[in-house]
Amino acid sequence: MMKWADMIDQNTEELAALETIDAGKLYNWVKNVDIPLLANTIRYYAGAADKIHGEVLKASMEFHAYTLMEPIGVVGHIIPWNFPSTMFGAKVAPSLAAGCTMVLKPAEQTPLTALFYAHLAKQAGIPDGVLNVVPGFGSNAGAAITSHMDIDKVSFTGSTDVGRKVMMAAARSNLKPVSLELGGKSPILVFDDADVDKAAELALFGFLFNKGEICVAGTRLFVQEGIYDEFEKKLVEKAKAWVVGDPFDPKSQQGPQASKEQFEKILSYIEHGKREGATLLTGGKRVGDKGYYIEPTIFSNVKEDMLIVQDEIFGPVLSLKKFKTIEEGIKSANNTKYGLAAGVVTKNIDIANTVSRSIRAGVVWINCYFAFGDDIPYGGYKMSGFGRDYGMEALHKYLQVKSVVTPLYNSPWL
């Protein structure tokens, strides 16, 4: 695994170009962040591979008992198109370290880097049959994985609707366990004591990073009334200055949406927001007449039952709303079927503690956003799924616990 990580580092530029062509991601970001982090994820779990162990138990009767942590078996991974490299590492590295073999289906829109990573794995010495990449559509390749009787576990990242299908297929076949990292509609709460300029910068990045094609995007922004007007003005100014363009251009901050289908879906949501009566502060249109580029789009005067507030749009679209009290902010933040992530911006430790313990989400970022790490578990509450990627929790979901018990005869102590 260490050699594999080194080989990925040696091929960063080619991998980054493939990812940019496939997904419209910013070349410099993929080259300097996504792929190096993938290599480090592999190293992290390589370091954990020889630290998997059970424990000796204190049995209540005359028995000697201990547990073994065994590989769960053959794992089926199904990964999305928005972060092909990142998701590849998050799934493959811990399951490989746990001793599992696997079949991985990349998204049909973005298969190229997964195939290259598998090629490098073979060159690094990972045996044939351990890591198998099978491109294809969800309706055939994905369905085959989820329903196959010889696959012992499925790990899926994608939409909530498809997550339901994964669970049903697993239940109808061999009752294989599943872990699901699904959709999100994450809130960011900005309180009156926040530094307005820094908070606006954080909020901007929170919904525009990766052109909004990220499940933890902070697309519901709640700002306390004392700073709301100043904050709205700064946020709109920053959004208008955001550079949308060729993802191979170092000056670009946002590339094209990943596909025509996604592009049209986002624009349809924007039109729906207008019809619902929300105020369009900026954006709302495509950029240029070539490519799938969309302006950073901010709506205000939104109501919490609006489609643009409740649905995961998966694009550069933000709903902005004012709140008065901490209690109101918490209630609004939790008014969603999702529970993947949340952000809190405040200088008050009491507010930070209260809000972070009150929001039903798998990760809460305080005065930061998108703060991921190999050692930080990541996953959702509610309809954002269950199970965790990253951290030792990710390793454990690919392991079975076996108890081994033998009787003790004439033992002087128990």
Residue-wise DSSP of 162-225: HHHHHHHHHHHTT---EEEE-----EEEE-TTS-HHHHHHHHHHHHHGGGG-STT---EEEEET
SS3 content of the chain, % helix, strand, coil (to 5): 40, 20, 35
- Least Cα distance to 404 among 50, 61, 57, 73 occurs for 57
Residues 251 and 263: their CA atoms lie apart, in Å, by 22
The catalytic residue positions are 181
Residue 133 β-bridge partners: 104
Instruction: Give the separation between CA 174 and CA 12, rounded to whole angstroms.
Output: 39
Residue the block writes with tokens 């930070």: 352
Cβ atoms 75, 132 nearer than 8 A: no
Report DSSP state, residue 31: I
Secondary structure element (H or E) that encloses residue 197, with its range: helix 196-208
